[in-house]
Protein backbone atom coordinates (compact mmCIF):
# COMPACT_ATOMS: atom_id res chain seq x y z
CA UNK A 1 0.00 0.00 0.00
CA UNK A 2 1.27 3.44 -0.98
CA UNK A 3 1.10 6.31 1.48
CA UNK A 4 0.76 10.01 0.65
CA UNK A 5 3.67 11.08 2.93
CA UNK A 6 5.95 8.56 1.20
CA UNK A 7 5.08 9.88 -2.28
CA UNK A 8 4.79 13.62 -1.63
CA UNK A 9 7.37 14.11 1.14
CA UNK A 10 10.11 11.50 1.24
CA UNK A 11 10.27 10.62 -2.48
CA UNK A 12 10.82 14.25 -3.66
CA UNK A 13 13.24 14.87 -0.82
CA UNK A 14 15.28 11.83 -1.89
CA UNK A 15 15.12 12.83 -5.57
CA UNK A 16 16.11 16.43 -4.76
CA UNK A 17 19.08 15.31 -2.65
CA UNK A 18 20.12 12.81 -5.34
CA UNK A 19 20.08 15.44 -8.08
CA UNK A 20 23.39 16.80 -6.78
CA UNK A 21 24.97 13.66 -8.23
CA UNK A 22 23.93 14.95 -11.67
CA UNK A 23 25.45 18.42 -11.27
CA UNK A 24 27.89 17.75 -14.12
CA UNK A 25 24.90 17.30 -16.44
CA UNK A 26 22.71 20.34 -15.72
CA UNK A 27 20.28 19.63 -18.57
CA UNK A 28 19.60 16.12 -17.26
CA UNK A 29 19.28 17.44 -13.72
CA UNK A 30 16.76 20.02 -14.91
CA UNK A 31 14.75 17.42 -16.83
CA UNK A 32 14.54 15.02 -13.89
CA UNK A 33 13.61 17.79 -11.46
CA UNK A 34 10.99 19.28 -13.77
CA UNK A 35 9.36 15.95 -14.62
CA UNK A 36 9.28 14.94 -10.95
CA UNK A 37 7.66 18.25 -9.94
CA UNK A 38 5.06 18.08 -12.71
CA UNK A 39 4.27 14.45 -11.94
CA UNK A 40 3.75 15.12 -8.24
CA UNK A 41 1.62 18.21 -8.92
CA UNK A 42 -0.59 16.38 -11.40
CA UNK A 43 -0.80 13.34 -9.11
CA UNK A 44 -1.90 15.46 -6.14
CA UNK A 45 -4.54 17.13 -8.31
CA UNK A 46 -5.99 13.97 -9.85
CA UNK A 47 -5.54 11.12 -7.36
CA UNK A 48 -7.92 11.00 -4.36
CA UNK A 49 -6.54 9.78 -1.05
CA UNK A 50 -7.92 6.88 0.94
CA UNK A 51 -10.02 5.63 -1.95
CA UNK A 52 -9.63 2.50 -4.04
CA UNK A 53 -8.30 3.38 -7.48
CA UNK A 54 -8.61 1.01 -10.43
CA UNK A 55 -5.76 1.41 -12.91
CA UNK A 56 -6.51 -1.25 -15.49
CA UNK A 57 -5.90 -4.64 -13.87
CA UNK A 58 -4.33 -3.00 -10.80
CA UNK A 59 -6.03 -1.64 -7.71
CA UNK A 60 -4.38 1.05 -5.63
CA UNK A 61 -5.20 2.87 -2.43
CA UNK A 62 -3.23 5.90 -1.23
CA UNK A 63 -3.19 5.94 2.55
CA UNK A 64 -3.20 9.56 3.82
CA UNK A 65 -1.04 8.82 6.87
CA UNK A 66 2.19 7.08 7.77
CA UNK A 67 4.66 6.91 10.65
CA UNK A 68 8.34 7.75 10.23
CA UNK A 69 10.90 8.05 13.01
CA UNK A 70 8.15 7.68 15.59
CA UNK A 71 6.12 10.62 14.29
CA UNK A 72 2.91 10.57 12.30
CA UNK A 73 2.70 12.39 8.98
CA UNK A 74 -0.88 12.99 7.87
CA UNK A 75 -1.94 14.33 4.46
CA UNK A 76 -5.74 14.09 4.36
CA UNK A 77 -7.89 14.72 1.31
CA UNK A 78 -8.18 18.44 2.04
CA UNK A 79 -4.39 18.82 1.79
CA UNK A 80 -4.32 17.82 -1.88
CA UNK A 81 -4.72 21.45 -3.13
CA UNK A 82 -1.78 22.51 -0.95
CA UNK A 83 0.38 19.71 -2.38
CA UNK A 84 -0.67 20.68 -5.90
CA UNK A 85 0.28 24.26 -5.10
CA UNK A 86 3.72 23.38 -3.68
CA UNK A 87 4.78 21.11 -6.52
CA UNK A 88 3.20 23.30 -9.20
CA UNK A 89 5.24 26.15 -7.73
CA UNK A 90 8.32 23.94 -7.82
CA UNK A 91 7.75 23.08 -11.49
CA UNK A 92 7.21 26.77 -12.35
CA UNK A 93 10.43 27.79 -10.62
CA UNK A 94 12.45 24.87 -12.02
CA UNK A 95 11.39 25.69 -15.57
CA UNK A 96 12.98 29.12 -15.29
CA UNK A 97 16.05 28.16 -13.26
CA UNK A 98 18.11 27.01 -16.24
CA UNK A 99 17.70 30.32 -18.08
CA UNK A 100 18.01 32.60 -15.05
CA UNK A 101 21.78 32.94 -15.25
CA UNK A 102 22.20 31.72 -11.68
CA UNK A 103 24.30 28.74 -10.72
CA UNK A 104 23.32 25.52 -12.49
CA UNK A 105 22.76 23.53 -9.28
CA UNK A 106 19.53 25.34 -8.41
CA UNK A 107 17.18 22.55 -9.49
CA UNK A 108 17.45 20.38 -6.34
CA UNK A 109 16.39 23.24 -4.09
CA UNK A 110 12.89 23.41 -5.53
CA UNK A 111 12.13 19.77 -4.69
CA UNK A 112 13.76 20.06 -1.26
CA UNK A 113 11.73 23.16 -0.43
CA UNK A 114 8.47 21.58 -1.62
CA UNK A 115 9.15 18.40 0.36
CA UNK A 116 10.00 20.31 3.56
CA UNK A 117 6.89 22.49 3.24
CA UNK A 118 4.74 19.38 2.69
CA UNK A 119 6.29 17.79 5.77
CA UNK A 120 5.62 20.93 7.83
CA UNK A 121 1.88 20.83 7.13
CA UNK A 122 1.73 17.03 7.60
CA UNK A 123 3.64 16.40 10.85
CA UNK A 124 1.59 15.53 13.94
CA UNK A 125 1.54 17.21 16.41
CA UNK A 126 1.92 20.57 14.71
CA UNK A 127 4.64 21.93 17.00
CA UNK A 128 7.19 19.77 15.18
CA UNK A 129 6.53 21.79 12.02
CA UNK A 130 9.05 24.27 13.40
CA UNK A 131 11.87 21.81 12.75
CA UNK A 132 10.99 21.56 9.06
CA UNK A 133 10.76 25.33 8.76
CA UNK A 134 14.21 25.54 10.35
CA UNK A 135 15.46 22.87 7.94
CA UNK A 136 14.15 24.95 5.03
CA UNK A 137 16.04 27.96 6.40
CA UNK A 138 19.27 25.97 6.80
CA UNK A 139 18.99 24.38 3.34
CA UNK A 140 18.49 27.81 1.75
CA UNK A 141 21.71 29.31 3.15
CA UNK A 142 24.01 27.62 0.56
CA UNK A 143 21.63 28.92 -2.10
CA UNK A 144 22.70 32.49 -1.26
CA UNK A 145 26.39 31.86 -0.51
CA UNK A 146 29.34 30.95 -2.68
CA UNK A 147 31.80 28.23 -1.72
CA UNK A 148 34.82 29.67 0.05
CA UNK A 149 33.30 33.09 0.74
CA UNK A 150 31.49 34.21 3.91
CA UNK A 151 27.73 34.77 3.73
CA UNK A 152 26.54 38.32 3.19
CA UNK A 153 25.13 40.39 6.08
CA UNK A 154 21.61 39.86 4.71
CA UNK A 155 22.03 36.08 4.78
CA UNK A 156 23.45 36.21 8.30
CA UNK A 157 20.58 38.34 9.59
CA UNK A 158 18.04 36.07 7.88
CA UNK A 159 19.60 32.98 9.44
CA UNK A 160 19.72 34.48 12.94
CA UNK A 161 16.20 35.91 12.98
CA UNK A 162 14.57 32.90 11.32
CA UNK A 163 16.38 30.54 13.71
CA UNK A 164 15.08 32.50 16.70
CA UNK A 165 11.57 31.57 15.58
CA UNK A 166 12.23 27.82 16.22
CA UNK A 167 12.18 27.84 20.06
CA UNK A 168 9.44 30.46 20.10
CA UNK A 169 7.21 28.37 17.84
CA UNK A 170 7.76 25.25 19.95
CA UNK A 171 7.09 27.13 23.20
CA UNK A 172 4.00 28.80 21.77
CA UNK A 173 2.59 25.53 20.39
CA UNK A 174 3.10 23.80 23.74
CA UNK A 175 1.44 26.69 25.59
CA UNK A 176 -1.40 26.66 23.06
CA UNK A 177 -2.19 23.04 23.85
CA UNK A 178 -2.19 23.83 27.57
CA UNK A 179 -4.36 26.90 27.04
CA UNK A 180 -6.82 24.90 24.94
CA UNK A 181 -7.38 22.53 27.87
CA UNK A 182 -8.00 25.49 30.20
CA UNK A 183 -8.78 28.74 28.31
CA UNK A 184 -9.30 30.58 31.59
CA UNK A 185 -5.59 30.20 32.40
CA UNK A 186 -4.48 33.73 31.50
CA UNK A 187 -0.80 32.96 32.00
CA UNK A 188 -0.81 30.26 29.33
CA UNK A 189 -2.87 32.42 26.99
CA UNK A 190 -0.32 35.23 27.41
CA UNK A 191 2.62 32.89 26.79
CA UNK A 192 0.87 31.55 23.69
CA UNK A 193 0.19 35.02 22.31
CA UNK A 194 3.71 36.33 22.93
CA UNK A 195 5.64 33.25 21.75
CA UNK A 196 3.59 32.50 18.62
CA UNK A 197 3.28 36.20 17.81
CA UNK A 198 7.04 36.67 17.88
CA UNK A 199 7.64 33.45 15.93
CA UNK A 200 5.33 34.44 13.09
CA UNK A 201 6.65 38.01 13.19
CA UNK A 202 10.21 36.75 12.65
CA UNK A 203 9.25 34.33 9.87
CA UNK A 204 7.02 36.79 8.00
CA UNK A 205 9.40 39.74 8.63
CA UNK A 206 6.81 41.92 10.30
CA UNK A 207 7.41 45.44 11.59
CA UNK A 208 9.95 46.21 13.03
CA UNK A 209 12.01 43.04 12.25
CA UNK A 210 11.67 43.33 8.47
CA UNK A 211 15.09 44.73 7.56
CA UNK A 212 16.56 41.36 6.56
CA UNK A 213 14.22 41.02 3.58
CA UNK A 214 15.43 44.02 1.52
CA UNK A 215 19.00 43.25 2.63
CA UNK A 216 18.72 39.70 1.34
CA UNK A 217 17.00 40.61 -1.94
CA UNK A 218 19.63 43.25 -2.68
CA UNK A 219 22.66 41.08 -1.85
CA UNK A 220 21.68 37.63 -3.16
CA UNK A 221 20.76 36.46 -6.64
CA UNK A 222 17.18 37.59 -7.41
CA UNK A 223 15.99 34.24 -8.74
CA UNK A 224 17.26 32.44 -5.63
CA UNK A 225 15.55 34.89 -3.30
CA UNK A 226 12.34 34.56 -5.33
CA UNK A 227 12.38 30.82 -4.60
CA UNK A 228 12.69 31.36 -0.85
CA UNK A 229 9.93 33.95 -0.72
CA UNK A 230 7.64 31.81 -2.82
CA UNK A 231 7.77 28.92 -0.35
CA UNK A 232 8.53 30.34 3.12
CA UNK A 233 5.66 32.85 3.53
CA UNK A 234 3.22 30.41 1.90
CA UNK A 235 3.88 27.56 4.31
CA UNK A 236 3.98 29.91 7.33
CA UNK A 237 0.56 31.30 6.37
CA UNK A 238 -0.77 27.76 5.96
CA UNK A 239 0.48 26.80 9.43
CA UNK A 240 -0.95 29.96 10.95
CA UNK A 241 -4.35 29.43 9.33
CA UNK A 242 -4.39 25.80 10.47
CA UNK A 243 -3.75 26.92 14.06
CA UNK A 244 -6.62 29.41 13.87
CA UNK A 245 -9.00 26.77 12.51
CA UNK A 246 -7.94 24.08 14.97
CA UNK A 247 -8.23 26.41 17.96
CA UNK A 248 -11.22 28.52 17.07
CA UNK A 249 -11.37 30.06 20.53
CA UNK A 250 -8.33 32.18 19.64
CA UNK A 251 -10.45 34.22 17.22
CA UNK A 252 -13.23 34.88 19.70
CA UNK A 253 -11.43 37.86 21.21
CA UNK A 254 -10.81 41.13 19.39
CA UNK A 255 -7.15 41.32 20.43
CA UNK A 256 -5.99 38.93 17.69
CA UNK A 257 -7.95 40.70 14.98
CA UNK A 258 -6.65 44.10 16.08
CA UNK A 259 -3.09 42.79 16.29
CA UNK A 260 -3.18 41.25 12.81
CA UNK A 261 -4.74 44.38 11.36
CA UNK A 262 -2.18 46.66 12.98
CA UNK A 263 0.77 44.45 11.95
CA UNK A 264 -0.46 44.12 8.37
CA UNK A 265 -1.29 47.81 8.01
CA UNK A 266 2.06 48.94 9.40
CA UNK A 267 3.90 46.56 7.09
CA UNK A 268 2.05 47.80 3.99
CA UNK A 269 2.52 51.46 4.96
CA UNK A 270 6.22 51.02 5.78
CA UNK A 271 6.93 49.00 2.64
CA UNK A 272 5.20 51.62 0.49
CA UNK A 273 7.15 54.49 2.05
CA UNK A 274 10.49 52.73 1.62
CA UNK A 275 9.70 51.56 -1.92
CA UNK A 276 9.42 55.16 -3.10
CA UNK A 277 12.87 56.03 -1.74
CA UNK A 278 14.93 53.02 -2.80
CA UNK A 279 17.29 53.13 -5.78
CA UNK A 280 17.93 49.38 -6.05
CA UNK A 281 15.67 46.97 -7.93
CA UNK A 282 16.46 44.10 -5.55
CA UNK A 283 15.44 46.19 -2.55
CA UNK A 284 12.26 47.19 -4.33
CA UNK A 285 11.40 43.53 -4.82
CA UNK A 286 11.98 43.02 -1.08
CA UNK A 287 9.56 45.83 -0.18
CA UNK A 288 6.95 44.36 -2.52
CA UNK A 289 7.38 41.01 -0.75
CA UNK A 290 6.88 42.68 2.62
CA UNK A 291 3.69 44.32 1.37
CA UNK A 292 2.38 40.92 0.24
CA UNK A 293 2.87 39.57 3.77
CA UNK A 294 1.04 42.60 5.11
CA UNK A 295 -1.97 42.10 2.85
CA UNK A 296 -2.13 38.41 3.82
CA UNK A 297 -2.27 39.37 7.49
CA UNK A 298 -4.98 41.90 6.73
CA UNK A 299 -7.00 39.11 5.14
CA UNK A 300 -6.66 36.95 8.25
CA UNK A 301 -7.61 39.92 10.45
CA UNK A 302 -11.14 39.82 9.03
CA UNK A 303 -11.71 36.63 11.08
CA UNK A 304 -14.27 35.37 8.60
CA UNK A 305 -14.59 32.88 5.79
CA UNK A 306 -14.18 35.73 3.30
CA UNK A 307 -10.93 36.79 4.95
CA UNK A 308 -9.52 33.27 4.75
CA UNK A 309 -10.57 33.05 1.09
CA UNK A 310 -8.85 36.37 0.33
CA UNK A 311 -5.63 35.15 1.99
CA UNK A 312 -5.74 31.93 -0.05
CA UNK A 313 -6.50 33.66 -3.34
CA UNK A 314 -3.56 36.03 -2.90
CA UNK A 315 -1.09 33.13 -3.06
CA UNK A 316 -1.26 32.38 -6.80
CA UNK A 317 -0.90 35.92 -8.22
CA UNK A 318 1.74 36.72 -5.61
CA UNK A 319 3.96 33.75 -6.48
CA UNK A 320 3.39 34.02 -10.22
CA UNK A 321 4.44 37.67 -10.28
CA UNK A 322 7.32 37.06 -7.87
CA UNK A 323 8.73 34.27 -10.04
CA UNK A 324 8.53 36.47 -13.13
CA UNK A 325 10.11 39.37 -11.26
CA UNK A 326 13.00 37.20 -10.07
CA UNK A 327 13.60 35.90 -13.60
CA UNK A 328 13.58 39.36 -15.19
CA UNK A 329 15.91 40.82 -12.58
CA UNK A 330 18.21 37.82 -13.11
CA UNK A 331 18.26 38.63 -16.84
CA UNK A 332 19.21 42.23 -16.02
CA UNK A 333 22.01 40.93 -13.84
CA UNK A 334 23.46 39.04 -16.81
CA UNK A 335 23.96 42.36 -18.61
CA UNK A 336 24.84 44.75 -15.77
CA UNK A 337 27.12 44.88 -12.76
CA UNK A 338 24.36 45.19 -10.18
CA UNK A 339 20.64 45.91 -9.79
CA UNK A 340 21.24 49.53 -8.75
CA UNK A 341 19.21 51.89 -10.90
CA UNK A 342 22.36 53.59 -12.20
CA UNK A 343 23.75 50.26 -13.46
CA UNK A 344 20.53 48.95 -15.02
CA UNK A 345 20.23 51.53 -17.78
CA UNK A 346 22.95 49.82 -19.78
CA UNK A 347 21.00 46.56 -19.77
CA UNK A 348 17.65 47.96 -20.90
CA UNK A 349 18.39 48.19 -24.63
CA UNK A 350 19.70 44.61 -24.68
CA UNK A 351 16.79 43.14 -22.68
CA UNK A 352 13.57 44.89 -23.77
CA UNK A 353 11.30 41.94 -22.99
CA UNK A 354 12.76 41.69 -19.49
CA UNK A 355 11.79 45.34 -18.99
CA UNK A 356 8.21 44.48 -19.98
CA UNK A 357 8.25 41.46 -17.66
CA UNK A 358 9.61 43.54 -14.80
CA UNK A 359 6.92 46.15 -15.35
CA UNK A 360 4.09 43.60 -15.40
CA UNK A 361 5.31 41.60 -12.43
CA UNK A 362 6.13 44.53 -10.16
CA UNK A 363 2.97 46.44 -11.08
CA UNK A 364 0.96 43.31 -10.32
CA UNK A 365 2.69 42.95 -6.94
CA UNK A 366 2.01 46.64 -6.33
CA UNK A 367 -1.68 46.17 -7.14
CA UNK A 368 -2.21 48.07 -10.40
CA UNK A 369 -5.79 47.75 -11.72
CA UNK A 370 -6.46 45.10 -14.38
CA UNK A 371 -3.52 43.01 -13.18
CA UNK A 372 -3.63 39.81 -11.16
CA UNK A 373 -3.66 41.08 -7.56
CA UNK A 374 -5.97 44.04 -7.91
CA UNK A 375 -9.39 42.28 -7.76
CA UNK A 376 -8.60 40.52 -4.48
CA UNK A 377 -6.87 43.50 -2.91
CA UNK A 378 -9.79 45.75 -3.82
CA UNK A 379 -12.26 43.49 -2.00
CA UNK A 380 -9.93 43.31 1.00
CA UNK A 381 -9.61 47.08 1.35
CA UNK A 382 -13.38 47.45 0.96
CA UNK A 383 -13.99 45.06 3.85
CA UNK A 384 -11.49 46.84 6.10
CA UNK A 385 -12.78 50.31 5.18
CA UNK A 386 -16.32 49.37 6.23
CA UNK A 387 -15.26 48.99 9.89
CA UNK A 388 -11.88 50.73 10.11
CA UNK A 389 -11.67 53.72 7.75
CA UNK A 390 -8.47 55.12 9.31
CA UNK A 391 -6.63 51.83 8.78
CA UNK A 392 -7.92 51.63 5.21
CA UNK A 393 -6.49 55.13 4.58
CA UNK A 394 -3.06 53.99 5.83
CA UNK A 395 -3.28 50.91 3.59
CA UNK A 396 -4.16 53.06 0.57
CA UNK A 397 -1.16 55.32 1.27
CA UNK A 398 1.12 52.28 1.38
CA UNK A 399 -0.51 50.94 -1.79
CA UNK A 400 0.17 54.24 -3.60
CA UNK A 401 3.75 54.17 -2.31
CA UNK A 402 4.29 50.73 -3.85
CA UNK A 403 2.96 51.91 -7.20
CA UNK A 404 5.10 55.03 -6.98
CA UNK A 405 8.23 53.00 -6.29
CA UNK A 406 7.61 50.75 -9.31
CA UNK A 407 6.87 53.69 -11.63
CA UNK A 408 10.04 55.38 -10.43
CA UNK A 409 12.03 52.27 -11.40
CA UNK A 410 10.41 52.14 -14.83
CA UNK A 411 11.03 55.85 -15.48
CA UNK A 412 14.67 55.37 -14.46
CA UNK A 413 15.08 52.35 -16.71
CA UNK A 414 13.50 53.96 -19.74
CA UNK A 415 15.04 57.38 -19.18
CA UNK A 416 11.65 58.95 -19.76
CA UNK A 417 11.48 57.53 -23.30
CA UNK A 418 9.01 54.95 -24.64
CA UNK A 419 10.11 54.85 -28.28
CA UNK A 420 9.69 51.70 -30.34
CA UNK A 421 13.41 51.49 -31.13
CA UNK A 422 14.13 50.77 -27.46
CA UNK A 423 12.09 47.57 -27.71
CA UNK A 424 13.69 46.18 -30.86
CA UNK A 425 15.48 42.90 -30.14
CA UNK A 426 19.21 43.39 -30.79
CA UNK A 427 21.95 40.80 -30.82
CA UNK A 428 22.62 39.33 -27.40
CA UNK A 429 19.19 39.97 -25.85
CA UNK A 430 16.94 37.39 -24.15
CA UNK A 431 17.22 33.74 -25.12
CA UNK A 432 14.34 31.88 -26.74
CA UNK A 433 13.55 30.09 -23.47
CA UNK A 434 13.49 33.38 -21.58
CA UNK A 435 11.15 34.88 -24.18
CA UNK A 436 8.74 31.94 -23.86
CA UNK A 437 8.74 32.01 -20.05
CA UNK A 438 8.25 35.78 -19.82
CA UNK A 439 5.49 35.76 -22.42
CA UNK A 440 3.57 32.97 -20.68
CA UNK A 441 3.89 34.58 -17.26
CA UNK A 442 2.81 38.01 -18.52
CA UNK A 443 -0.18 36.43 -20.25
CA UNK A 444 -1.16 34.61 -17.07
CA UNK A 445 -0.97 37.83 -15.01
CA UNK A 446 -3.20 39.62 -17.52
CA UNK A 447 -5.76 36.79 -17.63
CA UNK A 448 -5.93 36.58 -13.82
CA UNK A 449 -6.52 40.32 -13.62
CA UNK A 450 -9.12 40.55 -16.40
CA UNK A 451 -11.08 37.36 -15.62
CA UNK A 452 -10.52 36.60 -11.92
CA UNK A 453 -13.73 34.61 -11.48
CA UNK A 454 -12.41 31.90 -13.79
CA UNK A 455 -9.50 30.93 -11.54
CA UNK A 456 -9.62 32.40 -8.03
CA UNK A 457 -12.51 30.31 -6.61
CA UNK A 458 -10.44 27.16 -7.16
CA UNK A 459 -7.65 28.55 -4.96
CA UNK A 460 -9.74 28.75 -1.79
CA UNK A 461 -8.96 25.15 -0.81
CA UNK A 462 -5.18 25.77 -0.72
CA UNK A 463 -5.48 26.95 2.88
CA UNK A 464 -7.10 24.44 5.28
- Tens digits of residue pLDDT in 139-152: 998 888 776 678 88
Distance CA(347)–CA(427), nearest Å, equals 12
Measured CA to CA, the distance from residue 143 to residue 64 in angstroms comes to: 32
Are the beta carbons of 290 and 270 closer than 8 angstroms? yes
Residue pair 266/207 in contact (Cβ under 8 Å)? The answer is yes
Instruction: Specify the range with the lowest mean pLDDT, choosing from 68-82, 176-190, 195-209, 407-421.
Output: 407-421
Write the pLDDT tens digit of every residue in 244-264: 888 877 777 668 889 999 999
pLDDT at 45: 92
Does position 28 have pLDDT exceeding 70, yes or no? yes
Mean pLDDT of 291-307: 92
**Residue, of 211 and 397, whose pLDDT is higher:** 397
| Average pLDDT over all residues of the chain | 88
Q: What would the pLDDT profile of 146-172 be if each residue is shown by its tens digit?
A: 766 788 898 999 999 999 999 999 999
List pLDDT tens digits, range 340-394: 988 887 777 778 888 899 999 999 999 999 899 999 999 999 999 998 999 999 9
Q: What is the pLDDT of residue 36?
A: 95
Task: Flag whether pLDDT at 58 surpasses 80.
Answer: no
Query: Distance between CA 293 and CA 240 in Å, rounded?
Result: 13
pLDDT of amino acid 26: 83
Counting other chains too, the contacts that 328-331 makes at CB distance below 8 Å and 24 or more residues apart are 328/354, 328/355, 328/357, 328/358, 328/361, 328/438, 329/222, 329/223, 329/281, 329/282, 329/285, 329/358, 330/100, 330/101, 330/102, 330/221, 330/222, 330/223, 331/100, 331/101, 331/430, 331/434
Indicate if the pLDDT at residue 56 is higher than 80: no
Cβ neighbours for 110, distance < 8 A, ≥ 6 positions apart: 16, 33, 37, 90, 91, 93, 94, 97, 227
Distance CA 424, CA 349 (A): 8
If you compute the radius of gyration of the chain from its CA atoms, what whole number of angstroms results?
22
pLDDT at 104: 53
What is the model's pLDDT at position 103? Answer: 56
Q: In degrees rounded to 5, what are phi and psi of residue 286?
A: -65, -40
Question: Residue 58 phi/psi, 5° resolution?
Answer: -100, 150
pLDDT of residue 246: 84
What pLDDT does 337 receive? 84
DSSP-based three-state secondary structure for 332: helix
How many Å apart are CA 258 and CA 77, to the nearest integer? 33
For residues 455 and 312, is the Cβ–Cβ distance under 8 A? no
pLDDT value, residue 229? 94
Give one DSSP letter per residue of 152-203, joined into a string: PHHHHHHHHHHHHHHHHHHHHHHHHHHHHH-TT-HHHHHHHHHHHHHHHHHH
Q: Say what the pLDDT of residue 175 is.
A: 87
0.85 surpassed by pTM: yes
Exposure letters 411-430 (e unless 16+ CB within 10 A, then b)? ebbbeeeeeeeeeeeeeebb
Given this model, what pLDDT does residue 418 score? 46
Averaged pLDDT, 113-128: 93
Amino acid sequence: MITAPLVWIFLPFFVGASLWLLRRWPALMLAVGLLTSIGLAVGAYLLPFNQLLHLGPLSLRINPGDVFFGREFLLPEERRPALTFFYGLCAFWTAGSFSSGARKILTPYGLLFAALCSAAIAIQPGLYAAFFIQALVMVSVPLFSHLGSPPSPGVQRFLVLASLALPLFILGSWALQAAADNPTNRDMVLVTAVALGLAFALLLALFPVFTWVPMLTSQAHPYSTALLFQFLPSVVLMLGTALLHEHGWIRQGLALQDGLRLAGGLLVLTAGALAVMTRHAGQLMGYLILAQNGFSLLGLSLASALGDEITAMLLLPRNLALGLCGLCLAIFLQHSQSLAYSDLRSAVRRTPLAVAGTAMSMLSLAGLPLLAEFPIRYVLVQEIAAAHPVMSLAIMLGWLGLLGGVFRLLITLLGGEMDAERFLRPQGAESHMQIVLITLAVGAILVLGIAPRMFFPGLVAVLP
